[in-house]
């Protein structure tokens, strides 16, 4: 049963009608049924949201001291925890994602607000001895209005990764969710208003990327842009930011390797590797979608991964024991399936999955592509679905070469029984995060972000605050002689 609800934009502290007048029907990916009707922002709405953010910067939000921002971030974390049941169901139905994953994401979202509530204490300038009767100090100022654009795969988590450091730094935000998945962040904005964030500090403008999104990025009232999404769109956004020299950070795609050496404990490595691709149905930037396996254990590992892939519980996202829900849409499923067909044509073997089943909903089975080379499209391009490509390697040097032979560099996992090798390989892999005998990827406090075409800038960390701050140097003279450089 689907209950349709209507949602406005969130601007200047309240839900508002769109100037565009556009309401869009959202359907539930797992059932195809109508879920909600949501306002879509156009250019006039973006103008209004940016104006509200600028007014907040010059007004109540700009005057809110760090201790009070910290209290508000904690209050929002508390509100997320208190409303977790409603938020989890909303997110699970909107994305088609297993509610078990969504619950973990919600806990992470609350923790992230708490982390930045504390990290505010690190915002400080300094004064260091320069000599020559010069007195200098620096101070940190919010960079200004932040435009934030997030994708559909973790709508709530990605929005909170972006909101928390910006708000901690004192920046007001205009956030554009993906038009398919605006529900949870609209609710977060309401909760923020309820706990006391001043009007204009948080504005949410759901809308299409190439129109509303690019208008927001190019808006002269926006000082900083933070984007999570595909590498192609990241490039477009970089172009839009280049002429006005806007501050920019990009969290982009990945094609992350998972290296299994013959000396690894396979009873951990195999089930963890299965989780690392099929969690979130593979619609994860950090999905370990290339499984690199030492030649001597290749057939064994392909057999074990195939067997465990068939045991992943796929089904109704709202059932508590479901491990994988549906994909975001049937059109996205077509794209995913196209990669699998392409791999078959290139001569790879699909050992399980790889077929679209009967019935409603955008479901796709856990799929394993074996006998694959790293040059195949399925090994180079981000599939963003439950598809792992298993590639053999000869030795450690070959493993590192293949791991790095891709345009992305977001994440990597290494499985080995040799501790020295774990650290040696970690130092040679070009990726923002490397796990050793551990599949988990994101924790508040640990920098998260990419090398190469996976983007630049780090989220989740203390250093993220600096991406929302300017450093101002103030210099004066403490000497007794007149300052008269020309001797006039």
228 binds ligand NAD (CB under 6 A): yes
Cβ atoms of residues 465 and 167 within 8 Å: no
The tokens 């005057």 sit on which residue? 63
Determine which residue in the list 100, 153, 280, 351 makes contact with ligand NAD, applying CB under 6 A. 153
CA distances to 68, 86, 109, 164, 445 from 106, rounded to whole Å, are 23, 11, 5, 14, 17
Residue 382 binding ligand NAD, by CB under 6 A: yes
- Residues of span 400-429 touching ligand NAD by CB under 6 A: 410
Token pair of 397 as six digits: 């040097």
Q: Is 56 exposed, middle or buried (0-12, 13-18, 19+ CB in 10 A)?
A: buried
213 binds ligand NAD (CB under 6 A): yes
Tell which one of 20, 118, 230, 310 touches ligand NAD (CB under 6 A).
230
Which member of 28, 111, 251, 459 is catalytic?
251
**Nearest approach, Cβ of residue 237 and ligand NAD (Å):** 6
Under the binding rule (CB under 6 A), the answer on residue 111 touching ligand NAD is no
Pick the closest to residue 10 from 199, 210, 169 (CA basis): 199
Q: Which residue is nearest to ligand NAD (CB)?
A: 209
Residue 280 interacting with ligand NAD (CB under 6 A): no
- Point out which span in 42-50, 81-89, 191-199, 231-239 binds ligand NAD (CB under 6 A): 231-239
The nearest distance, CB 281 to ligand NAD, in angstroms, is 13
Position 9 contacts ligand NAD (CB under 6 A)? no
Interaction between residue 233 and ligand NAD (CB under 6 A): yes
**Residue 214 interacts with ligand NAD (CB under 6 A)?**
yes
142/253 with CB nearer ligand NAD = 253
Is 346 an annotated catalytic residue? Answer: no
254 binds ligand NAD (CB under 6 A): yes
Which of 116, 152, 415, 468 lies at the binding interface for ligand NAD (CB under 6 A)? 152
The yes or no reply on residue 285 touching ligand NAD (CB under 6 A) is: yes
- Least distance in Å: CB of 210 to ligand NAD? 4
165, 172, 253, 435: residue in contact with ligand NAD (rule CB under 6 A)? 253
Residue owning tokens 């089930």? 271
Kindly tell me which of 156 and 237 has the beta carbon lying closer to ligand NAD. Answer: 237
Whether 251 is catalytic is yes
CB of 358 to ligand NAD, least distance (A): 27
Residue 181 binds to ligand NAD (criterion: CB under 6 A): no
Q: Specify the stretch interacting with ligand NAD by CB under 6 A; choose among 56-64, 210-218, 356-364, 477-485.
A: 210-218
Asked if 163 touches ligand NAD (CB under 6 A), the answer is no
We find the least distance from the C-beta atom of residue 155 to ligand NAD, in angstroms, to be 9
- What token pair was written down for 288? 């370990």
| Least Å from the CB of residue 111 to ligand NAD | 17
Query: Taking Cα atoms as reference points, which of 42, 47, 166, 85 lies closest to residue 158?
Result: 166
Residue 119, interface with ligand NAD (CB under 6 A)? no
Pairing of strands 257-260, 34-39: unpaired
Interface with ligand NAD includes 155 (CB under 6 A)? no
Which structure tokens are listed for 40? Answer: 């879509």
Q: Does residue 42 touch ligand NAD according to CB under 6 A?
A: no
Tell the smallest beta-carbon distance from residue 248 to ligand NAD (Å): 12
Q: How far is the CB of 279 from ligand NAD (least distance, A)?
A: 13
Binding status of residue 249 toward ligand NAD by CB under 6 A: no
Residue 217 contacts ligand NAD per CB under 6 A: yes
Q: Which residues bind ligand NAD (CB under 6 A)?
A: 149-153, 158, 176, 178, 209-210, 213-214, 217, 228-230, 233, 236-237, 251-254, 285, 382, 384, 410, 450, 455
Would you please indicate which residues are annotated as catalytic (active-site) residues? 251, 285
């Amino acid at each position: 049963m689907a209950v349709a609800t209507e949602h406005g934009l969130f601007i200047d502290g309240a839900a508002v009608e769109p100037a565009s007048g556009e309401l869009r029907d959202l359907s539930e990916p797992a059932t195809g049924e109508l879920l909600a009707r949501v306002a879509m922002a156009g250019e006039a709405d973006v103008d209004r949201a940016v104006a509200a953010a600028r007014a907040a910067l010059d007004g109540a939000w700009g005057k809110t001291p760090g201790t009070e921002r910290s209290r508000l971030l904690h209050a929002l974390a508390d509100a997320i925890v208190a409303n977790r049941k409603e938020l989890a169901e909303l997110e699970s139905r909107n994305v088609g994602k297993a509610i078990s994953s969504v619950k973990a994401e919600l806990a992470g979202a609350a923790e992230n607000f708490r982390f930045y509530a504390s990290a505010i204490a690190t915002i400080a300038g300094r004064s260091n001895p320069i000599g020559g009767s010069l007195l200098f100090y620096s101070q940190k100022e919010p960079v200004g209005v932040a435009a934030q654009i997030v994708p559909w795969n973790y709508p709530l988590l990605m929005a909170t990764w972006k909101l928390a450091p910006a708000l901690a730094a004192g920046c007001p935000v205009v956030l554009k969710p993906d038009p398919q998945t605006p529900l949870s962040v609209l609710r977060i904005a309401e909760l923020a208003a309820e706990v006391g964030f001043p009007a204009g500090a948080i504005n949410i403008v759901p809308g299409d990327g190439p129109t509303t999104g690019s208008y927001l990025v190019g808006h002269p009232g926006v000082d900083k842009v933070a984007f999570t999404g595909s590498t192609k769109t990241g490039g477009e956004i970089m172009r839009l930011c280049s002429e006005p020299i806007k501050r920019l950070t990009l969290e982009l795609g990945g094609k992350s390797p998972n290296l299994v050496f013959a000396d690894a404990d396979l009873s951990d490595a195999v089930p963890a590797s299965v989780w690392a691709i099929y969690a979130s149905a593979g619609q994860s930037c950090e999905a370990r979608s290339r499984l690199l396996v030492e030649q001597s254990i290749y057939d064994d590992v392909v057999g074990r991964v195939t067997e465990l892939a068939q045991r992943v519980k796929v089904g109704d996202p709202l059932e508590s024991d479901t491990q994988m829900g549906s994909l975001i849409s049937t059109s996205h499923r077509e794209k995913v399936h196209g990669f699998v067909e392409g791999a078959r044509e290139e001569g790879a073997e699909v050992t399980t999955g790889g077929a679209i089943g009967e019935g409603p909903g955008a479901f796709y089975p856990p799929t394993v592509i074996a006998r694959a080379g790293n040059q195949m499209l399925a090994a180079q391009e981000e599939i963003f679905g439950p598809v792992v490509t298993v590639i053999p390697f000869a030795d450690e040097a070959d493993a590192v070469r293949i791991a790095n032979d891709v345009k992305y560099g977001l994440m990597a996992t290494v499985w080995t029984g040799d501790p020295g090798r774990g650290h040696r390989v970690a130092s040679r892999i070009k990726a923002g995060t490397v796990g050793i005998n551990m599949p988990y990827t994101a924790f508040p406090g640990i920098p998260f972000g990419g090398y190469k075409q996976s983007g630049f800038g780090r989220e989740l960390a203390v250093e993220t605050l600096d991406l929302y701050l300017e450093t101002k140097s103030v210099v004066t003279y403490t000497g007794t002689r007149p300052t008269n450089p020309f001797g006039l």
